Amino acid sequence: MKALVVEKPTVLKVMELSEPPMGDYEARCENLYGATCTGTDLHVIDGNFAWGNVYPSIIGHETIGKVVEVGKKVRNFKVGDLISRVYTRETDGVGLSWGGMSEYGLAVDTEAMWLDGVPQEKWDSYRINKVIPEGLIDPLDAVMIITWRENLSWINRMNISENEKVLVAGSGANGISIAACAALRGGIVTVVGGAARGEQAMKTGIASYIDYRDEDAVQKFIKDNPSSYMYIIDAIGDKETLTPYMSMLAEGGTVAVYGMNDFYSYTFNPILGPKSFRFFNSYAGCYDEAETHNEVIELIRAGKLDAGNWIDRKNVFTWDNAPAAYAHVREKKAIKSVIKLSTK
């Protein structure tokens, strides 16, 4: 099978690898599409991923696959099912940076393992393998389900309420998705980000968008909104991103960091503004994709999530030019690029 491999930092190439064997509780999947993630993939490629990495390794964690065969103990997947976040396994001495960008992958029937009494530690991390209802969404667009599930779970756990003001700094795929999810929860959301992303971001239900390079507009925004935002979210993760906005945080408000750029050296000044030393919360929670799968499916059915606001449908990459998908997003030509993983 073909796989997209980070051979060593800065070296990304398509390789031919052996397809790993299928287990009793696994379904063999033909992978259809995979999406780039600037929050993790580019850090892996560049050699500076926060939690470390193995090389060589197969990249990608936003893959949609179609079941072509099931193991003898599988009872919740069937041939033809569309499955979210399909990975391959380690093979031919090549490890995994999640391992989604491969021609074939494996999905785990975690419910069957649970019912059969298999210890949870053997299947818990595979609960992300979920069936996507037939006809719900184009498989190309379905790659966005992974991002939406992550971000909606994170936002839900912060308990954003109706009409609470939310500021999101950052207009990457996660930034816009976090903002959209906060708006779906009833938040009044402002995004500060790159000018080129404003039109797409406004289509997701947010209230306003400010170009971070327009210093006059940013300073006016800060001055006009003292102590008024209940949530200030950094979707980038660069140190000091939050400092300019701290005067806007309401008493008892919440600061949250989602981005990972300066994961081990993140800083901001918490005492700026008219109410120095005021009380605020810091949200450092995680998310659980599996817990929001059904909620995301219902939001898609209701027409409240549109993948076209994130992915570049006009420039779909293939195995012939797969590494270029990452250059495409690195050069900010798209929020998210998609690679067609099936050779059929």
What strands, in cross-sheet order, belong to the sheet with 11-16?
11-16, 2-8, 57-58, 95-96
Query: Which pLDDT band holds residue 285 (cuts at 50, 70, 90)?
Result: confident
Q: Range with the lowest mean pLDDT among 185-199, 206-220, 256-270, 328-342?
A: 256-270
Question: Can you give the pLDDT at residue 268?
Answer: 92
Average pLDDT score over residue span 281-292 = 92
Query: Which pLDDT band holds residue 168 (cuts at 50, 70, 90)?
Result: very high
CATH 3.90.180.10 fits 2-140+311-340, yes or no: yes
Domain ranges of the chain: 2-140+311-340, 147-283
Does residue 274 surpass a pLDDT of 60?
A: no
Q: What is the pLDDT of residues 224-266, one digit of tens each?
A: 999 999 999 999 999 999 999 999 999 899 999 999 899 899 9
What is the overall mean pLDDT for the chain?
A: 95
What one-letter code names the amino acid at 145? I
Q: Range with the lowest mean pLDDT among 49-53, 139-143, 168-172, 331-335?
A: 49-53
Question: Can you give the pLDDT at residue 53?
Answer: 87
Give the homologous superfamily in CATH for domain 147-283.
NAD(P)-binding Rossmann-like Domain (3.40.50.720)
Q: What is the pLDDT of residues 90-127, one digit of tens each?
A: 999 999 999 999 999 999 999 999 999 999 999 999 99
Does residue 192 surpass a pLDDT of 60?
A: yes
pTM more than 0.85: yes
Question: Can you give the pLDDT at residue 277?
Answer: 60
Does residue 279 surpass a pLDDT of 60?
A: yes
Average pLDDT score over residue span 148-176 = 96
Q: Range with the lowest mean pLDDT among 3-17, 114-128, 205-219, 272-286?
A: 272-286
